[in-house]
Amino acid sequence: MTEQRYPWPEASSTGVGSFPGTDPDEAVRTVLGELPELPHLPELPERGAGADVVGRSAGMLVDLPVEVQPAGWRVAQRPGRDAERARGFLSRDLDALEEHSQGLSGALKIQVAGLWTLAAAIELRSGEKLLADHGAVADLAASHLEGVLAHVAEVRKRVPGAELLVQVDEPSLPAVLQGAVPTASGYGRLPAPDIVAVEARLRELFAALAAAEAVPAAHCCAAGVPLDLLRRSGARAVSLDATLIGRALDEDVGTAVEAGVGLFTGVVASTGGVVSDPAANVDPVRELWSRVGLAPEQLARAVVVTPTCGLGSAAPDHARAALDACRRAARVLREDPRRR
């Protein structure tokens, strides 16, 4: 197994990103209190357009103005108030993080929407998705890369003691790869881009993050997560919904862990009820570990426990209970699975 220092402590837990409510101060305090090993910058989509996963990152784009239309985000002719509102939301979130994280050292996770998810969501002025135009995707990639690196630099300035982990959210990546993204009419599907081009764009972003001394990670909570593609592209951690992992992914999981890639395993329900037994929550992960034949002593180091997806649509009580359940479940991973 490749020796690799994971930037998070043993038996860590974290959130995927989104959180209920509209008060960034309350959200940051909750996350810092519930997830001391690996806190994250919470996203609050209940505030509206610009606080959603696409709008938040669309506001980071450089020299590529966007605006909100009835169908969603669209490329605009000039900068406007929609992107400005998104930047304002993010600025207030960073103010809260800076205020409540004084003295923080160690791992801190931030999240940005990935290129392919943005390309599948943002429309050209014609109404078609950016994904349909190779030139537009190239422009988006350059703008996105510059904006993400500027965001990383801003977070580092505000929380200088943190070791940053940048989670690139790509929930739409499986649909992009499968040629399943709907056309503007809804009657057709946009063709899948060349897999070599997809990997090259992912690799470009992950390499730039690593060069900026941030840990590149990827998140995809959809079925069919392309784990091997993300590993080959340079992600040092991959976050996924562990309840969707089938035996078909066993080989990819083993290859990734052997290569030193961390796994953020979503095991606690993001909505509905929370299972109170921490061992029951992580048993599927322990069974996966045993089935693949991975070293038991690596389990609590390589795996971070998370909810199955973001908590933005959860009730506040459920969100807190889910983070608490993740923290308690992560501690169970310290036990040797062979004893069970």
User: Same structural domain for residues 248 and 333?
Assistant: yes
Looking at every residue in the chain, the average pLDDT score rounds to 94
Question: Looking at residue 185, what is its pLDDT?
Answer: 86
Q: Which of 201, 229, 257 is the last residue of a domain?
A: 229
Q: What is the pLDDT of residues 256-286, one digit of tens each?
A: 999 999 999 999 999 888 887 999 999 989 9
Question: Looking at residue 1, what is its pLDDT?
Answer: 43
113 closest CA partner among 172, 158, 64? 172
Q: What is the pLDDT of residues 214-240, one digit of tens each?
A: 999 999 988 889 999 999 999 999 999
Q: How far apart (Å, rounded) are the C-alpha atoms in residues 235 and 214?
A: 11
Q: Which helix (H) or strand (E) holds 266?
A: strand 262-268
What angle, rounded to 10 degrees, do the helices at 278-292 and 250-258 form? Answer: 90
Q: What is the pLDDT of residues 162-219, one digit of tens each?
A: 999 999 999 999 999 999 999 988 899 999 999 999 999 999 999 999 999 999 999 9
Q: How far apart (Å, rounded) are the C-alpha atoms in residues 74 and 127?
A: 8
User: Same structural domain for residues 204 and 323?
Assistant: no
The pLDDT > 90 percentage for the chain reads: 85
User: Same structural domain for residues 211 and 248?
Assistant: no
User: Are 270 and 325 within 8 A, CB to CB?
Assistant: no
Q: Which of 103-107, 225-229, 330-334 has the highest mean pLDDT?
A: 225-229
Question: Looking at residue 244, what is its pLDDT?
Answer: 85
User: Same structural domain for residues 82 and 201?
Assistant: yes
User: Same structural domain for residues 207 and 244?
Assistant: no
Q: How far apart (Å, rounded) are the C-alpha atoms in residues 6 and 12?
A: 11
Q: Is residue 128 part of a domain?
A: yes
Q: Is residue 36 part of a domain?
A: no
Q: How far apart (Å, rounded) are the C-alpha atoms in residues 173 and 219?
A: 10
User: Same structural domain for residues 249 and 154?
Assistant: no
Alpha helices in the chain (DSSP H): 24-34, 53-58, 81-100, 115-121, 134-158, 173-177, 195-211, 227-232, 250-258, 278-292, 299-302, 316-332
Q: Is residue 157 part of a domain?
A: yes
Q: What is the pLDDT of residues 12-25, one digit of tens each?
A: 999 999 999 999 99
User: Are 11 and 330 within 8 A, CB to CB?
Assistant: yes
Q: How far apart (Å, rounded) are the C-alpha atoms in residues 19 and 41?
A: 10
Question: Looking at residue 4, what is its pLDDT?
Answer: 58
Q: Is residue 91 part of a domain?
A: yes
Q: What is the DSSP letter of 339?
A: G
Q: What is the pLDDT of residues 46-70, one digit of tens each?
A: 999 999 999 999 999 999 999 999 8
Q: Cα 147 to chain center, whole Å?
A: 17
Q: Is the pLDDT of residue 3 over 70?
A: no
* Phi and psi, residue 239, nearest 5°: -105, 130
User: Same structural domain for residues 113 and 171?
Assistant: yes
pLDDT tier for residue 245 given thresholds of 50, 70 and 90? confident
Q: What is the pLDDT of residues 310-327, one digit of tens each?
A: 999 999 999 999 999 999
* Phi and psi, residue 237, nearest 5°: -150, 145
- What total number of domains does the chain contain? 2
Residue at 296: amino acid letter: P
Q: Is the pLDDT of residue 71 over 90?
A: no
Angle, CA of 335, 292 and 243, to the nearest 5°:
75
Give residue 293's domain range: 14-21+236-340
- pTM of the entire predicted model: 0.95
User: Same structural domain for residues 263 and 199?
Assistant: no
User: Same structural domain for residues 199 and 262?
Assistant: no
Question: Looking at residue 275, what is its pLDDT?
Answer: 83
Task: List the end-to-end C-alpha distance of the chain, in Å, as a whole number.
Answer: 24
Q: How far apart (Å, rounded) are the C-alpha atoms in residues 178 and 174?
A: 6
The pLDDT > 70 percentage for the chain reads: 97
CA quadruple 301, 220, 307, 85: dihedral sign: positive
